[in-house]
Amino acid sequence: MEHKSAFIAIVGRPNAGKSTLMNRLVGAKVAIVSQKPQTTRSRISGVVTGKDYQMVFLDTPGVHSPRNRLGEYMVKTAFDSARDVEAILLMLDAQRGIEQEDMALLDKLLKGGLPVVAAVNKTDAAGRQKSLEAAQKLKDAGLETEPFLISAKTGEGVDELMASLKRFLVPGPRYYPDDEYTDQPERVIAAEMIREKALRLLEDEVPHGIGVFVNSVKHREEKNIVDVAATIICERETHKGIIIGRGGKMLKAIGTEARKDLEMLFGKKVFLELWVKVEEGWRDSTRVMRELGYE
Ligand SMILES: Nc1nc2c(ncn2[C@@H]2O[C@H](COP(=O)(O)OP(=O)(O)OP(=O)(O)O)[C@@H](O)[C@H]2O)c(=O)[nH]1
Ligand SMILES: [Mg+2]
């Protein structure tokens, strides 16, 4: 049997459930997920390997109107990822409904000439009526193929979607070894896990201005222990106070939650040291963005 492969970009507005779907398709936590929009900041690959095929999904940042350099980078990353792929999977939030921004995005993607498959997500929360209405709106807007109604959360409709995406497989190599399911280095995954906990635990405007940098990962010889040191970067002195919390309570909570994930990642006991650093307006600074890997 000839080996086949396909690249599929998952694109959509913030919070549509792209990363949740990608994790489900891959069967592992590859991308972080939070209830806050603009969680994903870079292109993340998630690999599904079959006996004679490999599908490489590209999770991307949510498409939005950028307010800073980081936002511009994120939106550019999303559109760049949607080129040179076999197909684009457009994710929509049935609960929020199809809005003007979704229509504009669909229009732009259709004009690009690549096959576009739509997945109307969160059907579990939206209910059947609202989900069908969303699907109809997409068809009215010129989408030729029937949208899939799915719930990335419960898994409903995901097998059917996956089966259908296999039609985009073309003769090609295995791009990743059988046991690899993402292109992110360990350090980056570790930083993302910490950022996820900060996103989940912090409120208001603080989380968006957070970046995490892993300073070091040291595997202790002989012992089943890893030492991880990381810095949480924020935009203001007041934010630093919130992140640390009264008596260091918040930072401790972030660390405790992150450590659980890191121990799963490394398969070892983890000692995590967290620092907090202020970088005024870093989301407009090329220097800090580069440090954080957003370039
Ligand atoms: N009820 C419900 N919630 C979902 C579903 N899929 C995702 N969510 C929730 O929606 C929120 C956003 O999910 P993400 O996967 O981070 O969304 P995203 O599209 O990757 O968002 P960005 O990275 O910000 O662009 C999270 O709170 C998820 O738990 C679903 O099928 N049903
Ligand atoms: Mg995401």
- Ligand nearest the Cα of residue 38 is 1
Report pLDDT for 205: 76
Instruction: With H, G, I as helix, E, B as strand and everything else as coil, classify residue 215.
Output: strand
Q: Is 200 exposed, middle or buried (0-12, 13-18, 19+ CB in 10 A)?
A: middle
Sign, CA torsion 95/97/101/105:
positive
User: pLDDT tens across 154-165, in order?
Assistant: 999 999 999 999
Q: Which residues surround ligand 2, an ion (CB under 5 A)?
A: 18-19, 39-40
Q: Whose CA is nearest to atom 27 of ligand 1?
A: 35
Indicate yes or no: pTM above 0.85. Answer: yes
User: pLDDT tens across 216-232, in order?
Assistant: 999 998 889 999 999 99
Contact, 47 vs 34, CB < 8 A?
Answer: no
Strand extents, DSSP E, the chain? 4-12, 44-49, 53-59, 87-93, 116-121, 148-149, 170-171, 211-219, 225-234, 269-278
Residue 231 and residue 140 in one domain: no
Contact, 261 vs 268, CB < 8 A?
Answer: no
Q: Is 194 exposed, middle or buried (0-12, 13-18, 19+ CB in 10 A)?
A: buried
Distance from Cα 17 to the centre of ligand 1, integer Å: 3
**pLDDT over threshold 80, residue 204:** no
Residue 253 lies in a domain: yes
Q: For 181-197, what is the mean pLDDT? A: 95
Residue 208 and residue 135 in one domain: no
Residue 276 and residue 251 in one domain: yes
Q: For 227-243, what is the mean pLDDT? A: 97
Report pLDDT for 129: 97
- Which residues approach ligand 1 with their CB closer than 6 A? 12, 14-20, 33-35, 37-40, 61-62, 121-122, 124-125, 151-153
> Two tokens at 23?
């994790």
Count of domains for the chain: 2
Last residue of a domain, one of 171, 205, 239: 171
Distance from Cα 171 to the centre of ligand 2, integer Å: 29
Q: For 122-151, what is the mean pLDDT? A: 97
Give the chain's mean pLDDT.
96
Q: For 57-84, what is the mean pLDDT? A: 97
Residue 19 lies in a domain: yes
CA distance 57 to 23: 10
Residue 89 and residue 31 in one domain: yes
Residue 223 and residue 107 in one domain: no
Distance from Cα 62 to the centre of ligand 1, integer Å: 11
- Give the confidence band of 59 by pLDDT, cuts at 50, 70, 90: very high
**pLDDT over threshold 90, residue 61:** yes
Residue 181 lies in a domain: no
As a whole-number percent, the residues of the chain with pLDDT over 90 amount to: 96
Residue 111 and residue 245 in one domain: no
Distance from Cα 224 to the centre of ligand 1, integer Å: 34
CATH number at residue 269: 3.30.300.20
Buried b (16+ CB within 10 A) or exposed e, 238-275: ebbebbbeeeeebbebbbebbbebbeebbeeebebebe
Residue 30 and residue 138 in one domain: yes
Report pLDDT for 207: 84
Domain range enclosing 57: 4-171
Q: For 46-70, what is the mean pLDDT? A: 97
